[in-house]
Amino acid sequence: MLKAVRLIIGLVILAIALAIGYSIANRDKDIPVKIEKVVKTVFVEEVKNDTVSIVIPANGNLVAKNRLELYAEVQGIFRSSAHDFKVGQAYNRGETLLNLDSSEYYASVQAAKSELYNLATSIMPDLRLDYPEIFQKWQTYLDGFDINKTTPQLPETSSQKERYFITGRGLYSAYYNVKNLEQRLGKYRITAPFSGILTEALVNKGTLVRSGQKLGEFIDTSVYELEVSIGKKFSDLLSIGEKVNLTTVDGTKEYTGKVVRVNGRVDQTTQTIKVFIELEGSDSLKEGMFLQANLDARDELEAISIPRQLLVDNSQIYIVKDGLLDIIEVNPVYFSDKEVVIKGIPDGTKYLAKSVPGAYAGMRVKVYDETTNTEDTE
């Protein structure tokens, strides 16, 4: 009897538990769920076709237009300079950059000059007797001959007989030997061909300089060149003398230059052309500076410029029409790093000014009205 009662109580408890579980499981099904459709707010711009200037950005490093790599053509001890031969030292045009010890070579030059003078003197008695009409000409030459100055040019011969006579006495050979020695003597002194500064100094005073040794580098700081590379399709749009705006990397300083040369060969690897821009030197310009150049290539009529991220598949953009997104084909004519110039959109068309995540054609949107700071549904 007791077992039967326990069995009945267990079945009742089980039935109650099943009823409660079923009630809980089906309670939420009877509550209606309202799903609201989210309409995103978008920013738009209205198309106003106008003339867009296509500016080609390019960059490069400044290089001095006039530079002189100093090499020794003779051997000698570095004796003196107009200033301290150090990096950053300025020299004016004509000042001595390096002066090598030439005392030994100078003595040989003087000996050759003396020999030439002796040869010219030895022919004077014969000229007085055989060629009296040219005697005075050579006498004047000897009177003006100074062994401590540059050897003067020999008098010009007035007849073939005179030429044979002078040549036979060896005067021409001696004269050109002296001039050759004088030319080499001038290589012991290197002067500045223009005003500038030393950017490299590899020797000090007292150093033994050998022939062929590099001594340093000297540049003109009054004019620089910037070499940049541009796409070949824009090469015919650039003209010699065209003004170019240049800026530093941080954009704090601006300069103006002009195109002076355009290479006639296309780089086969990069399909670019070298363009050389010249600009006047100033205290803030230094060789090796990195500058950004903006080249005005051409003006594109009836076009607009938009951020590149708004372009879809490089040929489409989203527009807003009747509160819905639509996508249309456009004609991109120029791409820069951040902008793209496009054509083919009618005036008054409203396009997305900012990208919308998950955008698709037919998507319902609200247009943000910036003037009234309200949202307007088209």
Tens digit of pLDDT for each residue in 209-258?
999 999 999 999 999 999 988 877 777 667 788 888 888 888 788 888 88
Distance CA 10, CA 29 (A): 30
Could you say which of 299, 316, 335 is where a domain stops? 299
User: Does residue 298 or residue 144 have the better pLDDT?
Assistant: 144
Average pLDDT over residues 155-183: 90
Whether residue 2 lies inside any domain: the answer is no
- Does the pLDDT of residue 151 top 60, yes or no? yes
Whether residue 36 lies inside any domain: the answer is no
Q: Which of 11-25, 62-76, 294-308 has the highest mean pLDDT?
A: 62-76
Whether residue 336 lies inside any domain: the answer is yes
Residue whose token pair is 């601006």: 254
The 10 Å Cβ neighbour count of residue 60 is: 20
Q: Quick one: pLDDT band at residue 372, thresholds 50, 70, 90?
A: very low
Q: What is the pLDDT of residue 244?
A: 86
Whether residue 37 lies inside any domain: the answer is no
The 10 Å Cβ neighbour count of residue 98 is: 23
Q: What is the pLDDT of residue 129?
A: 85
Distance CA 144, CA 324 (A): 101
Domain harbouring 244, CATH code: 2.40.30.170
Q: What average pLDDT is seen over the chain? A: 84
Beta bridge partners of 300: 52
Q: What is the pLDDT of residue 378?
A: 43
Q: Judge if 78 and 90 occupy the same domain.
A: yes
Whether residue 17 lies inside any domain: the answer is no
Could you say which of 299, 328, 357 is where a domain stops? 299
Share of the chain above pLDDT 90, in %: 34
Q: Judge if 242 and 262 occupy the same domain.
A: yes
Q: Judge if 125 and 172 occupy the same domain.
A: yes
Q: Judge if 76 and 160 occupy the same domain.
A: yes
The HSE-up count of residue 133 (CA atoms within 13 Å, CB side) is 5
Q: Which domain holds residue 268?
A: 55-64+221-299
- Cβ-in-10-Å burial (0-12, 13-18, 19+) of 342 comes to buried
Q: What is the pLDDT of residue 117?
A: 92
State how beta strands 365-369 and 40-42 pair: parallel
Q: Judge if 166 and 177 occupy the same domain.
A: yes
Q: Judge if 176 and 214 occupy the same domain.
A: yes
Q: Judge if 106 and 142 occupy the same domain.
A: yes
Q: Judge if 311 and 184 occupy the same domain.
A: no
Q: Judge if 244 and 286 occupy the same domain.
A: yes
Instruction: Name, in order, each residue with C-beta under 8 angstroms of 127's C-beta and a sequence gap of 6 or more.
Output: 134, 135, 138
Span of 134-143, 297-306, 363-372 with lowest mean pLDDT: 363-372
- Structural domain count, the chain: 3
For 231, the token pair is 């796409």
Distance CA 200, CA 83 (A): 14
Whether residue 124 lies inside any domain: the answer is yes
Nearest one of 345, 294, 312 to 54, comparing CA atoms: 294
Query: Taking each helix axis from N to C terminus, what angle separates 103-122 and 171-185, rounded to the nearest 10 degrees?
Result: 160
Whether residue 34 lies inside any domain: the answer is no
pLDDT in tens, 251-276: 788 888 888 988 888 888 888 888 89
Query: What are residue 105's phi and psi, to 5 degrees?
Result: -70, -35
Q: What is the pLDDT of residue 281?
A: 76
Q: Judge if 209 and 78 occupy the same domain.
A: yes
Q: Judge if 78 and 106 occupy the same domain.
A: yes
Whether residue 304 lies inside any domain: the answer is yes
Nearest one of 180, 204, 176 to 85, comparing CA atoms: 204
Span of 99-108, 334-343, 366-375 with lowest mean pLDDT: 366-375
- Cβ-in-10-Å burial (0-12, 13-18, 19+) of 42 comes to buried
- Does the pLDDT of residue 371 top 60, yes or no? no
Q: Which of 27-31, 52-56, 246-250 has the highest mean pLDDT?
A: 246-250
Q: Judge if 277 and 323 occupy the same domain.
A: no
Average pLDDT over residues 80-90: 93
Domain harbouring 372, CATH code: 2.40.420.20
Could you say which of 219, 234, 259 is where a domain stops? 219
Q: What is the pLDDT of residue 308?
A: 85
Contact 171, 119 (CB under 8 A): yes
Q: Which of 9-13, 211-215, 248-252, 362-366 has the highest mean pLDDT?
A: 211-215
Q: What is the pLDDT of residue 121?
A: 92
